Amino acid sequence: MSRRPSDVRGPVLIGSAVGDALGAPTEFMSLPEIRAKYGARGIREFEGFRGLPAGSWTDDTEMTIAVAWALIHSGHRGDDMEDAFGHEYARWYMTHDPRRSPGSTCRRAGQDLARGVPPRLAGVAGSTGCGAVMRVAPVGLFHLFSPTPGSLISAAKISAYPTHDSVEARMGAAVMAMLIEMAAQHWTAEEATRRVQENYGGTAVGQALRKAYDLRNEPDADAAYAQIGEGWDCTSAVAGAWFAFCRSPSSFEETVVSAATTQGDSDSLASMAGAISGAYNGLEAIPERWRNKVEGYNMLSYLSDRLLDRAAAFWDVDDTDYESLGEDL
């Protein structure tokens, strides 16, 4: 079932930011510490962290915003898009807030980009960290209008390599962008999992995604997350976010609470799960108490509108110049 573009104005970027803000306080806590503090129901309200007020987000949302602006400004052709991602990641590096705990790979690559290193050369070789997948949701949103399925995959890969130069990171970004696109089109978890298997079942992220789906009814969520991984790498981050969504596909709140109440990269897991659930369930599914308190709500709404308006205008033109570039990465 396809959805009108107006149905996805806001919930992907806002859902991602809400999950990020909810998961940030638990990011560096052990599971026993999390359970001792928040109990069996998990963390359910925003809290301040590292000197930032409740509702603040981390580098995940900062870089998601960078991806959105790159898509808006790039003209969406290969060379232009490559340069746009490099420019926005460099700008992020020069303006980021260290209290938001940016990852070392993104900082290292961002520093090189800011020094003028070309995007194709700046990515950290072999890096499989989750930075390439935590920020890619705008790519899936932009490609709701695309008449060519390969364009999403190409763009997702191009978004990854200025910081993460590895096959695993590029494939993780591609699959995560696919999940956003399919959720916004209201594919069921079963349908989306099957489509990923048909295209990428032989990859590490494809296999991890299938495992996450198969574990969705496991009564002990903590044990299931232990099997999937902690989300520090791109493969387990995509799988962990998908597991959280598959456990409660119709409930945004339960999805992000599950992802945020984890040992590991909980802000990234909850941010990605929030983007998927927001795309699938819509803005009204995000609890008002979170929407009212999340940092930058109006800015994120405006950015979502700009992104979708740019996409609608772009896809009226049949131009896929960049596909061959993405296929080479």
pLDDT at 149: 73
Residue % of the chain over a pLDDT of 70: 92
pLDDT at 80: 83
Domain spanning 5-327, CATH class: mainly alpha
pLDDT grade for 77, boundaries at 50, 70 and 90: low
Average pLDDT score, the chain = 91
Region 59-76: mean pLDDT is: 91
Helix, strand, coil distribution of the chain in percent, nearest 5: 70, 0, 30
DSSP 143-183: GGG-S-HHHHHHHHHHHHTTTEESHHHHHHHHHHHHHHHHH
Q: Which two tokens stand for residue 184?
A: 């916004």
Q: Which amino acid is at 256?
A: V
Residue % of the chain over a pLDDT of 90: 83
pLDDT at 78: 61
Domain boundaries, the chain: 5-327
Q: Say which residues have a Cβ less than 8 Å from residue 203's Cβ, sequence separation at least 6.
A: 171, 175
Region 297-323: mean pLDDT is: 77
**Which tens digit of pLDDT belongs to each residue from 30-59?**
999 999 999 999 999 999 999 999 999 999
> Is-contact 290 298, C-beta < 8 A?
no
pLDDT grade for 75, boundaries at 50, 70 and 90: low
Region 116-127: mean pLDDT is: 95
Q: Which two tokens stand for residue 188?
A: 């069921």
pLDDT at 231: 95
Region 252-270: mean pLDDT is: 97
Q: Which two tokens stand for residue 82?
A: 């490559």
Region 262-278: mean pLDDT is: 97
Range of weakest confidence among 38-52, 184-198, 308-322: 308-322
Q: Which amino acid is at 32?
A: P
pLDDT at 316: 73
For residue 124, the surrounding DSSP H or E stretch is strand 124-125
Region 217-228: mean pLDDT is: 96
> Is-contact 238 207, C-beta < 8 A?
no
Q: Which amino acid is at 276?
A: I
Q: Is 324's pLDDT higher than 80?
A: no
Q: Which two tokens stand for residue 136?
A: 């890619």
Region 299-309: mean pLDDT is: 94
Our CA dihedral for 143, 145, 149, 151, rounded to 10 degrees, sits at -50
pLDDT at 9: 65
Q: Is 225's pLDDT higher than 80?
A: yes
For residue 31, the surrounding DSSP H or E stretch is helix 31-38
Q: Is 317's pLDDT higher than 70?
A: no
Beta bridge partners of 124: 164
pLDDT grade for 235, boundaries at 50, 70 and 90: very high
pLDDT at 123: 95
> Is-contact 144 180, C-beta < 8 A?
no
pLDDT at 3: 46
Region 91-100: mean pLDDT is: 94
Q: Which amino acid is at 253?
A: E
Region 85-97: mean pLDDT is: 95
